[in-house]
Amino acid sequence: MSSEVTLLLTTFLLLVLLAYPFVIYPAVLNLMPRRPFPRPTSSDSPMSAALVFCAYNEEKSLPEKLRNLRAIKERAPALEIIAYSDCSTDRTLDLLATAPDVVRVIAGDERLGKATGMKRLVASTQAEIIICTDANVNLEITAIDRLLAYFRDPSIGTVAGTLHYVNDKEGQTARVGSLFWRLEEWIKGLESATGSTMGADGSIFAIRSRLYPTVPPHLLDDLIASITPLFAGYRVVSAPDVHAFERTTTDSVDEFRRKRRIACRAYNTHRFLVPQLRHLKALDKFKYFSHKYLRWFSFLSLLLVSVSATIALAVFIGFVPAFTVVFSGAAFLVAAHWFKLPLIGTVAEMLVSIVAVGIGVIDAMSGRTYQTWVPAKSRQ
């Protein structure tokens, strides 16, 4: 085999590796046998439930959040609602205190982060089901009934709801963020249909309280909590009929920082979970590796594709022309991202997102941690 053919084949295989977690993996899932589970539309279960969330400087989101909680409480009066304010410096605590008939408030006396706040919230209730959400997320008023209905199946330990971004038309960053999230929800649905999905995000999920784990303060409580039932032999499923709504970031810098922070915490969380991950069934190991691990290292795949393609181009047209083409292409992508050009700017935004995740993983490998969080200004 000639060196030119080897280079082209290498570049192609690296492109396949880059595309795998986003395109090929869901296609593989779609070909797998289905493992059905009940999808009821209502619940007559007597199980008790507590809706819990942490907040830090969410005064802009809370008025709408409290209206949403009041409507939910009217529909489900037995539902316990508890909020934790992580030593907020704005009017968050004051706003929460205006609705004592709806929400019970726990106030932190120092900033300790979401994982610690969730630990205090879970410890403060005797409810059988813990429903986790975020302060800036609003729920469909039927969400509680539908979440609880899934737990009539004793094999289910976690139920992940479906999140929708409500401002996906507000610019390129919001559009790309929404596109990535719709892909994430699709993959979760396919994973769930074939057994279990690989955890949930903090916007909306529910877990049997006796399965809720202790989470170290610097790690992702939503990932650890939602996937822990899987280690105990329970299913982790995605509920397409449980809807939550949230604004996503509209500023590229905000989104870059958010993805970097989340990726750092996620990879640190992965390292914490490794001993338990080793005992998963083969199918779940395959899902976790495909969905989580390979996506975290998409930055490496992107880098290797770029290097391989550049070398291949240099072999075919010469070093100087190849360097000129690559440099011009990179400059064009940067300009497209900066000026938010249609289509090409969207591609550039996607690449920036992959880079942000990669830097977050490097942060984790270098020992960096994030324990507290600050809401992105552009999504408020």
pLDDT tens for each residue of 315-356: 888 988 888 988 898 998 888 888 888 888 899 999 999 999
Q: How far does CA 18 lie from the centroid of its chain? A: 20
For residue 274 the two structure tokens come to: 């490794």
SS3 state of residue 269: helix
SS3 state of residue 245: strand
- If one counts every other C-beta atom within 10 angstroms of the C-beta of residue 314, the result is 17
Above 60 in pLDDT, residue 41?
no
For residue 102 the two structure tokens come to: 């709806």
DSSP string, 186-211: HHHHHHHHTS--S---TTEEEEEGGG
CA distance 350 to 22: 12
Residue 91's pLDDT is what? 97
Residue 378's pLDDT is what? 78
Residue 44's pLDDT band (cuts 50, 70, 90):
low
Above 80 in pLDDT, residue 229?
yes
| Domain parsing of the chain, residue ranges | 49-250
Instruction: Look at the chain and count its residues.
Output: 380
Above 90 in pLDDT, residue 42?
no
pLDDT tens for each residue of 135-160: 999 999 999 999 999 999 999 999 99
* CATH code assigned to 49-250: 3.90.550.10
Q: How far does CA 113 lie from the centroid of its chain? A: 17
* Alpha-carbon distances, residue 148 vs 40, 130, 181, 213 (angstroms): 10, 10, 24, 20
Residue 40's pLDDT band (cuts 50, 70, 90):
low
User: Which segments of the chain are extended strands (E)?
Assistant: 49-55, 80-85, 104-107, 129-133, 138-139, 156-165, 204-208, 235-246
Q: Kindly report the average pLDDT of the chain as a whole number.
A: 94
pLDDT tens for each residue of 177-188: 999 999 999 999
- Which residues 6+ apart lie within 8 Å of 106 measured at CB? 82, 83, 84, 85, 117, 120, 121, 124
* Alpha-carbon distances, residue 299 vs 220, 293, 359 (angstroms): 21, 12, 8
Average pLDDT over residues 51-59: 97
Phi, psi dihedrals of residue 267, rounded to the nearest 5°: -70, -35
Pairing of strands 104-107, 156-165: unpaired
Residue 61's pLDDT band (cuts 50, 70, 90):
very high
CA distance 166 to 368: 32
**3 or 358, higher pLDDT:** 358
Characterize 321-354 residue by residue with b for buried, 16 or more Cβ atoms within 10 angstroms of its Cβ, and e for exposed: ebeeebeeeeeebeebbeebbeeebbebbebbbb
* Alpha-carbon distances, residue 355 vs 177, 269, 300, 350 (angstroms): 14, 19, 9, 9
Average pLDDT over residues 297-304: 96
CA distance 296 to 355: 10
CA distance 84 to 95: 12
Q: Tell me whether residue 299 is exposed, middle or buried, using C-beta atoms within 10 angstroms of its C-beta: 0 to 12, 13 to 18, 19 or more.
A: buried
